[in-house]
Amino acid sequence: ESKAEASLAALEKMMKNIARVRRDGQAVEVDASELVPGDIVLMEAGNRVPADGRLFVAATIEIEEAALTGESVASPKDTDATTKPDVPLGDRHCMAFMNTSVTRGRGEMIVTTTGMNTEMGHIADLLNKTEMEKTPLQKQLDRLTIIIASIAGIAFVLMILIGLRQGQSFDAIFLAGIALAISAIPTGMPAVVTTMYSMGTRVLAARNAIVKRLPSVETLGSVSAICSDKTGTLTLNKMTAREFSIPGQNRYRVSGEGYSIQGQLDLTQGLRPGEPWQKGTAPYTTEGQILSAGGAKIDLEEVMLPMALCADARLDGPNLIGDPTEGALIVLAEKGGISVEDAREMYPRVAEVPFDSDYKFMATFHNMKDHQGKPVVRAFVKGAPDVLIARGGSYWMPGGEVLPITEDNRHLALAENDRMAKSGERVIVVARRDFDPQTFNPNAKLIDLMKDLTLLAMVGIVDPPRTEAKLAIAECHSAGIQVRMITGDHAVTAASIGHELGIEGKALTGAQFAEKSDEELINELDDIGVIARVAPEDKIRLVSLLQRKQNIVAMTGDGVNDAPALKKADIGVAMGITGTEVSKEAAVMILTDDNFATIVKAVEYGRAIYDNLSKYIRF
C-alpha cells in the first residue's frame, strides 16, 4: 500500500505544471490543476502537455510520448480526425496526452479530460488496483510454516495422550509439549535469510542493480520468463543510420552506433569496392572526396552535405541536441568526412521550408556553386520517401550527372524503399534542386518550388540493438528463460529488431493480442516473442497469463505506462537513467545502467542465493 501511495505521489508530482490558456480572448498562465474540459491550451516546443486534449491547430508540432506509449521517436501531430475505432494511443495523431513533451513546433488544443480521467490518470488507477505478489521463497516458507506448525500440533496432542496414559500429571505434560512446539520453530532461519538477502543486495548494487525489497534477491533466481521493453533496454535509444543507397547505383553499409562519429562506410553493391574506407581518409574541403583504400574514386560529398545542412540538430560531445532522426543524418555526414559545424558556417541558410506533418519534408536553401562553377541557390530537401519520390524528377549519378526519372526507372527508388522498410528501418530520402540567384525570391511560397527534385540518396535509420543484449538473450535461452519483447513501436520494426537479437517467436500487435481469449493466449504464449503497440492493460494481462502458467515473471520498463505491469510482475525492473519516477517507485529493482545484460547477471546471482537458502532450509 505504501508503495502504491508513493507511486501515485510521484505521478502527482509530475502532474504539477503551469499551462498557458486562452480565456476571455486573453492568453494567461494557470496551474494545470485548474484546467477544465473546454479550456483552450497553447503549446510550443519545450512545453509539457497539461491535460488530454484534441488538437485543432498543429503547426509542425511533434510530441515525445515515450513515457506513455513506448515509442522511440517523437510523434508528429495533425488536426485530422481519427475515424477508426480502438486506435492505439501512439496512432492518435490528433490528440495530445497529459505529461508528454512538445519537442517541435506549436499547437493549440481543446481540453477533453483532466486529472484521473486522462490516459495518465487511467494508468494511475491501474497501478493503485494492482496487487504485489509474494516471492516464491515467501510462498514456500509459508507452506513450510504450516507444515511445521501441523507437525508440532500433532506431536503436542500425542505427547499429552501418551503422558496421560502413562499416569503423568497434565501440568508436566502440557509444559513439555509447549517446550517441544517452541523448539520446533527454526528461530535461526529469519536471521540467516535476512543476512543472505542483505549480502545479496550489496553484491547486486555493485553490479548496477539496486534491489529495493530484500526478498526480491531470491526471486531473481526463480525467474523463468522475462518481458523486456525494447527502447533503451534492448536497444541504445539512439537513432543511427545503418545504410544508405543511391538508387540503381550504389549501396553502403554504415558501421558505428549511437551519436559517436566513429565508424566506417562499406560499399556493398555497385562499383568495385576495394577495401572499406574510414572517416579521416580525406580531409574536409569544399570539393572533398572519400576514397576507398584501394578501389575506385567516388565523390560522396554531394550526398553527405545535405545531411549536414538540411537539419537543425547538433552534437554536444556524445550527446544529441535536437531531433533523433536528424541526429542520425548529421552523424552519418561526420562519418563521411563532413564537418557539420564548418559546413553550416560555410553555407548559411538563406531561406527554409520547415518540416510539417502535412507535407512530410523539410528544405533549406544555400548559396553555392554547381559542378561548372556557376553560382546557384541550392535547395537541400529531406523527408518521407513516398512524398519525395513522387516529387522527384531525376536521379543523381556518382559522376555528378543526372538521370531523368521515368516510369521505367522509378521502381528503382520504390524497390529500395520497400527493401529498407521490410528490414525494420525508417527510410529518409535526401534530394536537391538548384535555382537561379537572380530570380530566386526567399519570401516566395517556397513549398511550391519543391518539385522536379534530384534524388540523392535513401538512408535507412534504426535504433540499433545493444551488442551485449544479444549475448545476454542467448544466455537466457541456454538457462531455460524465455525472453519476450514488449514495445510501443510498430510490429515490423519490433519484429526485425527481435530477430536480430535472437528473440524467437511470432510478432503480434496490441490489437491482435487484445482480441484473443485467455485460453487462446495461454496455448500460444510459448510461440509469441514480440508484442508491439501495447496498452498498459495488455502488459498486465500478459504478466498474469504467464503467472497462471506457473512462470516467475520479470518485467522491465521505463515509462509511466509500464508501472502497473512492473508492480504486477514477480520482479519489476525499472531503468535508472531513462526511467520515470513512477516506474522506479512501482519496481522492486532499478538498473543504474539501463542495460538488459545486467538483468541476466542479477538472475544468475539470484539463482546462487536461492540455492544457498534452499540448502539451509533442508538442513
- For 67-119, write each residue's pLDDT tens digit: 677 666 778 888 888 887 778 788 888 999 988 888 888 899 999 999 888 88
SS3 166: coil
| 8 Å CB contact between 98 and 38 | no
Provide the pLDDT confidence category of residue 353 given band limits of 50, 70 and 90.
Answer: very high
Per-residue pLDDT at 436: 93
Q: Name beta bridge partners: 487.
A: 532
Higher-pLDDT residue of 290, 372: 372
Angle separating helix axes 536-548 and 119-129, nearest 10 degrees:
20
The pLDDT of 533-543, averaged and rounded, is 86
Q: Is the pLDDT of residue 596 over 90?
A: no
Burial class from Cβ neighbours inside 10 Å (0-12, 13-18, 19+) for residue 451 reads: exposed
pLDDT at 13: 57
Position of cell 569544399?
A: 286
16-47 pLDDT tens trace: 568 899 988 888 988 888 899 999 999 988 78
| Residue 317, C-alpha cell as written in the block | 560531445
Residue 74 gets which letter from DSSP?
Answer: P
Per the rule left: phi > 0, alpha: psi between -120 and 50, beta: everything else, 12 is alpha
* pLDDT at residue number 283: 24
Residue 239: strand, helix, or coil: coil
Q: How confident is the model at residue 274 (pLDDT cuts 50, 70, 90)?
A: very low
25: Cβ–Cβ under 8 A, 6 or more apart, which residues? none
- Residues 6 or more apart in contact with residue 439 via CB below 8 angstroms: none
Q: What is the mean pLDDT of the segment spanning 448-453? A: 93
Instruction: Report the 10 Å Cβ neighbour count for 282.
Output: 16
What residues form DSSP beta bridges with 316? 319
Rounded to whole angstroms, the Cα distance separating 336 from 243 reads 12
% of residues, the chain, pLDDT over 70: 87
Say which residue, 298 or 159, is predicted with more confidence.
159
CB atoms within 10 A of CB 509: 18
Q: How many residues does the chain have?
A: 619
Q: Which of 52, 229, 463, 562 is catalytic?
A: 229
What pLDDT shows up at residue 267? 62
Helices (H) and strands (E) in the chain — how many of each? 20, 30
Question: pLDDT at position 254, please?
Answer: 84
Question: Rounded mean pLDDT of the chain?
Answer: 82
- Lowest-confidence range among 142-156, 279-293, 414-428? 279-293
Q: How far apart are CA 319 and CA 183, in angstroms?
A: 63
Indicate whether 315 pLDDT > 60: yes
d(CA 172, CA 17): 72
Q: How far apart are CA 364 and CA 142, in angstroms?
A: 69
The grid coordinates listed for 430 are 535526401
Quick one: CATH architecture of 2-129? Distorted Sandwich (2.70)
Report pLDDT for 11: 55
Give the burial string for 533-554 (b: 16+ CB within 10 Å, else e): bbbbebbbbbbebbbeeebbbb
Q: Could you tell me the pLDDT band of residue 261, with boundaries at 50, 70 and 90?
A: low
**Class assignment of domain 240-462?**
alpha beta
Mean pLDDT of 582-599: 86
| CATH, domain range 192-235+466-618 | 3.40.50.1000
Q: State what percent of residues in the chain have pLDDT above 90.
A: 27
Cell 522509378 -> residue: 410
Predicted pLDDT at 280? 30
Q: How many CB atoms lie within 10 A of CB 201?
A: 19
pTM here? 0.70
pLDDT of residue 294: 31
Angle between the N-to-C axes of helices 119-129 and 2-15, in degrees from 0 to 180, rounded to the nearest 10: 170
Among the listed residues 431, 442, 310, the one whose alpha carbon sits nearest the alpha carbon of residue 377: 442
Q: Would residue 370 show up in a list of annotated catalytic residues for this protein?
A: no
**pLDDT at site 12:** 55
